[in-house]
A = this chain, B = another copy of it.
Amino acid sequence: MQDPSLEGRRVYGRAELRRLLEPQSVALVGASANPASLGGRTLANLAAFPGRLYAVNPKSAMVGERQAWPSVSALPEAPDCVVLAIPQESVEAVVAECAQRGAGAVIVLASGYAELEQAEGAEAQARLLALARPAGMRIVGPNCVGVANRAHGLHAAFAEFSPSVLEPGRRIGLVAQSGALGLSLSHGAERGMAISHVLTCGNSCDVDVADYVAALAEDPGCDVIALTFEGLADPQRLLDAARRARAAGKRIAVCKLGLSEAGRAAARFHTHTAAGDPAMWQRLFREGGMVQVERIEALMETAAFLAKAPAALAHAASGSAARPSAPVGSGSASVDAASASGPGVAIVSGSGGTGILALDAAARHGVPTPQPQSATTDRLRATVPAFGSPRNPCDATAQATRNPESLLECADAMLADPGYGALVIPWGRSQPPRLLAGLGTLSQRHGKPICVVWMSQRLEGPAGEEVQRHPQLALFHSLDACMAALAAWLAPDAEGSGLLDHA
């Protein structure tokens, strides 16, 4: 249970979390040479830290080939960040020692706090905060798996978050209250996502997801934020953090857990924070200009899309009275209720069937798919074979797979049409490099996003990874997830579009 006194504090920003997320020195209490142990796994993850790393172990002067220190008090400096890979019963004394020594932050991995049914757990958790707060020391957790900040070389976690190739312009800062989800989502790095941070907070007795969002908003090492959480002691802090992100031009994709009644009840048991009702959260996300994602499997691809899509989400976060709207991906828009106002989405496919599937998905999410202007149709007709279709969706036929230039010509024609704000290409096989390069150029030239939707049941492979790593092209594994993201991206403003409001 979070300390009620927390509810009034301001959100921590980058400055308040700098010693945690950008430390010059890290101490690991419970460091172990046993690679299977909690302390051994955490030490292995920390080994590449380029700053000063201190192994603390009262039982041994060496941990493997590394010098060990008997205690935090005995360290030659006040460490910025201390990771406690020790049993619950030892945590409180060491937290007190860290506060005394002047540490900047403590990450508590141990469980056995507010997530317990017994009041003792919540009380123990409150005592940790009471020790830290007067010293100005941050606490992460308890009951968490740790954090990683790749640009800083920091992997202060026992979970093996997947390493990532960081490419500016599409770096995703991942914020997950749940350590298990943080780990699972971090695996996206293995198929080409640039994940700059993985920040978990578990019971969130002090630092919570709102603080992480605010810190990432101010960190130039991250371009977009992916957020998933169960509950917050003070939802207003998340709104403050979201406004900082907007001010920095960073978008936020959010998947909120526990929106069903049963889910809310389970969340109360799990983290003892009020899960809130869905309408409140949807209103808050809308006010903060956040893009709500219904299904967790679409969170990272939606974030990656938001990082790559040109221009600003200029429409949201306009004020206090925005109506609640359906979350992205809920498919709750009336079929065919798409508004005719505003730009629509063009579809270019290599088969008739996938184009029709794309239309169906667009209809489920209220995305308009108008027909092209006559000049566009003329260009398409000059390229598409007679057995294809020069309409929207444009069936460029299997010719498109043999002759990338024909697909590029269709894409250029559609993107040049003022009726369209984005292009969707259902695809599922290897692309010649010149096709991807050509599509990237077209996206930049027209200032409109291109989404490639992977239709193959071969879920991974170099073909999809090349799209994921591309600086302009977005990859989705679901037409519905793609159309839901485009619905949010195309909505002209928070209040008036109607695109997200068919409940």
Q: Chain A residues in contact with chain B, CB under 8 A? A: 111-113, 115-118, 121, 143, 162, 176-181, 183-188, 190-191, 193, 228, 230, 257-263, 266-267, 269-271, 278, 294-297, 300, 330-332, 335-336, 350-357, 359-364, 369, 385-387, 389, 391, 393, 395, 397-398, 428, 455-460, 477-480
Contacts and interface: CB of A to CB of B under 8 A. Distances in A.
A258 B356 contact: yes
Which of A190, A230, A270 has the largest number of chain B CB atoms within 10 A?
A270
A151 B259 CA distance: 47
A171 B475 CA distance: 31
Contacts of A193: 457
Given A331-B331, A331-B332, A398 B258 contact: no
B457 A261 contact: no
Chain multiplicity (copies) = 2
Contacts of A183: 428
Contact of A389 (B180, B181, B269, B355): B269
B359 A457 contact: no
A255 to B, nearest CB: 8
B387 A143 contact: yes
A20 to B, nearest CB: 22
A356 B295 contact: no
Contact of A459 (B369, B398, B460): B460
A385 B88 CA distance: 13
26 contacts: A112-B387, A116-B387, A117-B386, A162-B458, A181-B353, A184-B457, A187-B456, A190-B457, A190-B458, A191-B457, A191-B459, A257-B353, A260-B362, A260-B363, A263-B359, A266-B359, A269-B391, A270-B353, A278-B335, A295-B479, A297-B457, A297-B477, A330-B364, A331-B332, A459-B460, A460-B460
A455 B296 contact: yes
Nearest to A399: B111
A351 B187 contact: no
Given A117-B386, A352-B115, A359 B455 contact: no
A369 B184 contact: no
Contacts of A369: 262
Contact of A260 (B113, B336, B351, B353): B336
B112 A363 contact: no
B295 A480 contact: yes
A393 B266 contact: yes
Q: Which 5 A-B pairs have the closest CB atoms?
A: A178-B353, A180-B351, A260-B363, A188-B457, A187-B458
B262 A386 contact: no
A117 to B, nearest CB: 7
B263 A181 contact: no
Contacts of A297: 455, 457, 477-479
Contacts of A360: 257-260, 262-263
A459 B477 contact: yes
A428 B184 contact: yes
Contacts of A359: 258, 260, 262-263, 266
A181 B427 CA distance: 10
A180 B398 contact: yes
Contacts of A121: 387
A449 B356 CA distance: 33
Given A191-B457, A263-B357, 9 more contacts: A115-B352, A176-B353, A177-B353, A188-B458, A263-B360, A270-B395, A296-B455, A332-B332, A459-B459
A335 B326 CA distance: 12
Contacts of A116: 386-387
A356 B266 contact: yes
A191 B112 contact: no
A111 B395 CA distance: 13
A270 B359 CA distance: 13
A186 B457 contact: yes
A457 B185 contact: yes
